[in-house]
Structure 1
């Protein structure tokens, strides 16, 4: 039934929510009908006009991601103003008076000023229009279109808000469509169930992070968990959860499910409140519930399966308007998508023919542990894994991690996971792109995107090209679109294969991508991207260097202050109980430290004595008992001297991150569990059941010695401060290094402890914990299956000496550095460093495909195909200032250590200098036409090392 609306109905309808842009333009066309009554003075009109604009801008800019409903409200308000003015209009039969004409003139100006407002708001309405996100058997579907998506993990609390926009932009420049992050329950709800205790400030500002991703034009995959693993303390659970009466984690337990649902709802409501789901016009297109539960659910039996199904149903009931996934859950119920995690997922298939093939964690490297060597993953192998996944029907792949960042404070899981969470990711811990990994993967993404029309339009067709070689073709029925992947999965031998009548050379363990089924745009084993070498440049040999250009005179004068941390029980709130108590149940992880103290009266003739000597034997679950550490049971045996009368025994037990993975990980204990014995040649005394007094944390922690804004009489200023003494606090002042290069502190010379810059913890340091002497390789062969211990470096060296200090932690002028040193060290050896790119290099052969940027579309390349070496300075404003090395022929070596081969063109250096010096970037064709042919019949390469300034 149709009717003719009342004029006011018609105007209001034009501003209804979700109105098409044409309707909004029509609404703008109503503005010229504004007329101003003569009885309104221009001053009144001006006041009314500015009042409206103040209201508009104040209200509008309170919302960084406006929704359609909000924008429509503004338009409706604007219309009310317009119609109110029009309704009050007065005219005279004989024409307008001068006053009326003057008012009309003001009205015209008002109309002209209001028109841009309507247009701007109209555009914002369109920009924030809700998206319909679904999926089919091939892909995630956004507004009815299948999408081939590349994603990368960036965890918001592992970097700083000041770093987020740059990290996200570098991710976008690297070819990502999606940013993926976990949500970390423990940092958002440090105290149970108190609404005012939710913390979304600073590095915890999840809404700000998601909006930053949206501002860059990327999507978000929000992995709520709320168990996240992530090498994060307690797997992301707040430790108070352990103390909820009757609770059992991650199983069909009402107490746990109630807490999990409450927090999950809080996260979803927070995202909805900010309009961040795609169904509201926001960037979030996917969410995850639980995390890798299928890896361990068998330990929970039928109750585990019931819990998994409950979690899926609970998530769907939250009505986010976007699909949910469960990773590593082969029996994830519909409509949840089960996804794959691992180093390779090309052989993975979802549990339903209606679900797409998705890879939520492609491990770009591996995490570092204190006491372990540094793991890395070759770019060629990572690229091979990515290409194989898309070749074998995958359409969503996520790098875990794309930027790893830093485990600030006490956030590391483990135990013994290091403070650096660099992960050998494409963007390093400091926010700098890691080359060639970042650039090579960017090229892979471009190649995949050239194939996207075929990938979303056709089903894969597989055929063997010979032993360990395979072709996959995506071709439409009318043959109008065709893309192909040629794979050689042999870990040893290169292959030459026939495909569509042509011969293609496939290096071992590689994939060639042909977006037109004819021309190779990229081979995963052939890197066109440049290599960068970064170095940490020390700002003086020590923090007390008196060079004014490095360290301020105030620092040299102030030197170090110190405060002694007392041994044993010093707090009034200490607890005394018979027997030995498990550490985590006692401390609730309020501190890494727990003192165990008892006393014994000795006469001098006890059977456990040998004269005045006895052996003290302590068994502990770890993680650190002063002087000894192990990941399992610690046995500390040490001679002690006892005197007649009362003797006191004090033990300091230390945790280094709580367990974060495995069935029942929440029940893994720590601390001194016994027995604790005194033993001698004639007997032993078991002290395990005697009265023990417990002190949670350090006295310095209670006094907030780490906070420089709180003065304390404990600090002693003395040039002769103690060194190599355990249990001591140090404090000094420093000036931040000039410029904007990333900053780190080198803790070489210290033992183990924690550091704070201006009151913010930069994490635990432990430079005395060395990697094993063996297990590392000089050059890791990318060919063959990767594992976390395949490619290791820095054997026999400290696992970590450099600790990131974000620029946002620093302030102009004086800054404070505070340390708690547990084992003993010399703070005069500490130095500040900045991370800088020392060289950019590239190595491209005549056999490499053309630069992928020369491809305009899947069917067309530019007019100058062929391999080319490309260099680009990493920072804005830099130019290539020097060519350190250039060779065309058969050069060898690595960036920073190249050598000319037996065959080398004499023109190489001059040609490269002419093309590159003074340029921000340059491209040099790799061809004998450019350099001459120093050795005919030999495949030649161009190698260049350059510097930027």
Structure 2
């Protein structure tokens, strides 16, 4: 079998110097039928390795579970990497950041307030151990020492930016080795301050994360690790976007020059991201450094391979740089096939709250949403109020629409710091609460979602709330209850929200599409029952990517969850993606 080790100056593949030329692809952000295509295009750019995170919360949506099927089939993904003749780097966290919901940490973990976060607290370590056992059951047999593609395995993730609990790191190391990991273990941290020292252990290989000033960053890393190969484990060649801002881009030539500097210095590299993919459903994370900023649906990242898997100018600029240093395949990926635009009109709709979720009465103060046992999406709070006035909360996480006897009376947004709404009179209050994405970086990881109490009406606490999770895994009940729009109503008549509207469109067969929702306000869209993500009129992105495998020959269904109201009943399929204007 092959071997992969760390030498005095180089990585060693079968005892010969080897440079890692890696690109990040998150299998959980890409439709599984498209994995092979994205891996192949990485090889054609000149890369020899694929790196991926593993999202704990996605694989373990509830305690005691580990899902590894369909889009979460990590084993199959690694097998496809091997089939392509490439190597693999696995980064299981347990914290991954990645602008992913809660940084990959499962929300159920923190329903017990005694559980620590990224520390050696026993409850946390017990949960981590169970998770790692499940991950390593897939990874260990696929190590290079056993004929597989995996050459390196990461311990935690940029831990030096969060803490310095050496007992925690040692637990992860000991656990990994006990479960059979024999490829090199490594850590990655930003080359600033004491992060590299705080986030690692003497026995672990240290790598850096940065996107510029390569020579300076590598020198910093070398000072703290005198021997062993230099590696940038996250070469940031783009950036992510949050709602309400521009689309972040980096100049292809500038990024390529930085990559050239890395390779000229003899370093190995992992391009973050090579292919970003999509935050389908409710999977996006958020940042909060005083202002809450949820990440958008697109994770295009201005990467060399676009969100829909097409080579960009940056792809070819990087390919040219790699070709200066290493052999590159002669084959070049084809350009995006031409698409035609089309318009679809929703034909019927049903109010979201006409099919309320099953709720439970929670005596006492207003509870967080985690009490429902569901950890993403939408929730409904209900309570009877004896009179009107100002209703306030300590905080709203993250966006709440208020309805009094079915009539909208206001919206409170965490982004805007809003905490109080005027209730005109007594009656049945319903609050539709949207979890817009759990914080994925910093000290607010693990926080609860929902209406954060006390809930005060004119200074008096409101208690005994009912709460339930809105189940959108199946749209059957909403589809069955949908009423057709009256004949003769023009398309610009619009749709009232919150509601689910439905449309049917025809297709010749599978193929990528780009859904454009001009005139719609905020919500989620579904193709044949698959939640393709959130849309919002504030942008920056104007289209939602529809992976080709979701489309079937013949009739297809589009469903739109609109939270407020639209100015039209039409949507369109665009000829290409529009992830928003950049800052130029």
TM over 0.5: yes
Report SS of the residue matched to 2:12: strand
> Cα gap change, 1:671/1:318 in structure 2, threshold over 3 Å: closer, same or farther?
same
Give the Cα–Cα distance (whole angstroms) in 2 for the partners of residues 560 and 137 of structure 1.
67
Following the alignment from structure 2 to structure 1, what is the Cα–Cα distance between the partners of residues 340 and 466? Answer: 43
1:635 corresponds to which of 410, 415, 419: 419
Q: CA deviation at 1:443?
A: 1.0
1:716 maps to which residue?
A: 483
Q: Contact 2:510–2:553 (CA<8 Å) still a contact in 1?
A: no
Distance 1:601 1:265 in 2: 53
Q: 2:311 aligns with which of 433, 455, 463?
A: 433
Across the aligned residues of Structure 1 and Structure 2, the Cα RMSD in angstroms comes to 2.9
For residues 550-569 of structure 1, give each alpha carbon's deviation from its aligned partner in whole angstroms, at most 9, with x where no partner exists.
xxxxxxxxx512111227x9
Aligned to 1:372: 245
Query: Can you give the 5+ residue segments of structure 1 that lack an aligned partner in the other structure?
Result: 1-129, 299-303, 452-529, 545-558, 603-608, 679-684, 770-797, 838-949
Which has the higher Rg, Structure 1 or Structure 2?
1
Aligned-pair CA distance for 1:724: 4.2
Residue 566 of structure 1 is aligned with which of 329, 341, 353? Answer: 353
Kindly indicate whether the alpha-carbon contact (under 8 Å) linking 2:155 and 2:169 is maintained by their aligned counterparts in 1: no
User: Structure 1 residue 745 and structure 2 residue 515: aligned?
Assistant: yes
Q: Please name the residue that 1:672 is paired with.
A: 451
1:543 maps onto 2:344 in alignment: yes
* CA deviation vs aligned residue, 1:801-849 (integer Å, no higher than 9, x gap): 2011111111111111112111211452310124399xxxxxxxxxxxx
Change (3 A) 1:671 1:538: farther
Checking the alignment, whether the CA contact within 8 Å between 1:297 and 1:663 is kept in structure 2 is no
How does the TM-score come out when normalised to structure 2?
0.86
Residue 686 of structure 1: aligned partner = 459
Q: Is the Cα contact below 8 Å between 1:705 and 1:712 reproduced in 2?
A: no
The DSSP-based 3-state class of the residue aligned with 2:363 is strand
Which of 11, 34, 37 is the matching residue for 1:163? Answer: 34
**Other structure's SS at 1:566 match:** helix
Q: In the alignment, does 2:550 pair up with 1:809?
A: yes
CA separation in 1, counterparts of 2:390 and 2:359?
31
Separation of aligned partners in 1, 2:439 and 2:145: 37
Match runs of 1:439-838 below 5 Å = 439-449=316-326, 539-540=341-342, 542-544=343-345, 560-566=347-353, 570-583=356-369, 585-602=370-387, 614-617=389-392, 620-626=395-401, 627-631=411-415, 633-638=417-422, 640-642=423-425, 646-667=426-447, 669-674=448-453, 676-677=455-456, 685-687=458-460, 689-698=461-470, 701=471, 706-707=475-476, 713-719=480-486, 723-736=494-507, 738=508, 742-766=512-536, 768-769=537-538, 798-826=539-567, 828-835=569-576
Match of 1:8 in 2: none
Aligned-pair distance for 1:625?
2.2
> CA-to-partner distance for each residue in 1:81-134, whole Å, 9 max, x for gaps?
xxxxxxxxxxxxxxxxxxxxxxxxxxxxxxxxxxxxxxxxxxxxxxxxx21110
Helix, strand or coil: the match of 1:426? coil
Displacement of 1:705 after TM fit?
5.3
Trace 1:173-322 onto structure 2 (pairs within 5 A): 173-193=44-64, 197-243=65-111, 246-272=114-140, 275-297=141-163, 304-322=165-183
The residue that corresponds to 1:424 in the other structure is 302
How do 1:318-467 and structure 2 match up within 5 A? 318-328=179-189, 330-331=196-197, 332-344=200-212, 345-346=214-215, 347-348=217-218, 349-350=221-222, 351-394=224-267, 396-414=268-286, 416-435=294-313, 437-449=314-326
Please give the alpha-carbon distance, in whole angstroms, between the structure 2 residues aligned to 1:691 and 1:355: 61
Provide the residue aligned with 1:945 in structure 2: none
In 2: Cα distance, 1:422 partner to 1:836 partner: 10
What SS class does the counterpart of residue 256 from structure 2 fall into?
Answer: helix
User: What TM-score do the two structures reach when normalised by structure 1?
Assistant: 0.54
Matched residue, 1:144: 15
Contact 1:137 1:353 in 2 (8 A): no
Counterparts of 1:311 and 1:215, CA distance in 2:
30
Unaligned stretches of 5+ in structure 2? 190-194, 287-292, 402-410, 579-584
> For residues 161 and 403 of structure 1, what CA distance do their matches in structure 2 show?
14
1:509-551 CA distances to partner (integer Å, 9 max, x unpaired)? xxxxxxxxxxxxxxxxxxxxx99997996523x314xxxxxxx
Partners of 1:600 and 1:647 within 8 A in 2: yes
Give the Cα–Cα distance (whole angstroms) in 1 for the partners of residues 376 and 130 of structure 2. Answer: 27
CA deviation profile, 1:57-102 (whole Å, cap 9, x unmatched): xxxxxxxxxxxxxxxxxxxxxxxxxxxxxxxxxxxxxxxxxxxxxx
- Aligned ranges 1:875-886 → 2 under 5 Å: none
Match of 2:408 in 1: none
Contact 2:310 2:335 in 1 (8 A): no
Q: Matched residue of 1:648: which SS?
A: strand
CA distance in 1, matches of 2:30, 2:54: 14
Contact 2:366–2:455 (8 Å) recurs in 1: no
Q: CA deviation at 1:391?
A: 3.1
d(CA) in 2 for partners of 1:636 and 1:537? 47
In 1, the alpha carbon distance for the partners of 2:167 and 2:226 equals 24
- Cα distance 1:531–1:631, how it changes in 2: closer, same or farther (>3 A)? farther
How many residues of Structure 1 are paired with residues of Structure 2 in the alignment? 544
* Residue pair 2:510, 2:550 contacting (<8 A) in 1 also: no
What is the rounded CA distance, in whole Å, between the counterparts of 1:177 and 1:747 in structure 2? 39
Partners of 1:256 and 1:576 lie apart in 2 by 27
Q: Secondary structure at the match of 2:295?
A: coil
Equivalent pair of 2:510/2:552 in contact (CA under 8 Å): no
- Deviation, 1:352, is 2.8
Worse-matched range after superposition: 238-247 or 181-190: 238-247
Give the corresponding residue for 2:581: none
Distance 1:213 1:597 in 2: 49
Q: Deviations over 1:179-227 (max 9, x none)?
A: 000111222222322xxx4322111111111111111111101111121
**For residues 158 and 504 of structure 2, what CA distance do their matches in structure 1 show?**
45
CA shift in 2, pair 1:760/1:291, >3 Å = same
What's the CA shift for 1:236? 1.1
* Partners of 1:754 and 1:761 within 8 A in 2: yes
Larger RCO, structures 1/2 (Cα 8 Å, 6+ apart): 2
* Structure 1 residues 651 and 313, CA gap change in structure 2 (3 angstroms): same
Give how far 1:589 is off: 4.1
Distance 2:443 2:175 in 1: 22
- Larger CA deviation: 378-387 vs 825-834: 825-834
Task: Please list, as runs of the form range in 1=range in 2, the aligned pairs for 1:841-920 lying within 5 A after superposition.
Answer: none
- Tell me the CA shift for residue 382 of structure 1: 1.1
Structure 1: distance between partners of 2:337 and 2:414: 33
1:713: Cα distance to partner?
4.0
SS at match of 1:225: coil
Note the C-alpha offset of 1:308. Answer: 2.1
Report the CA distance between 1:677 and its aligned residue.
5.0
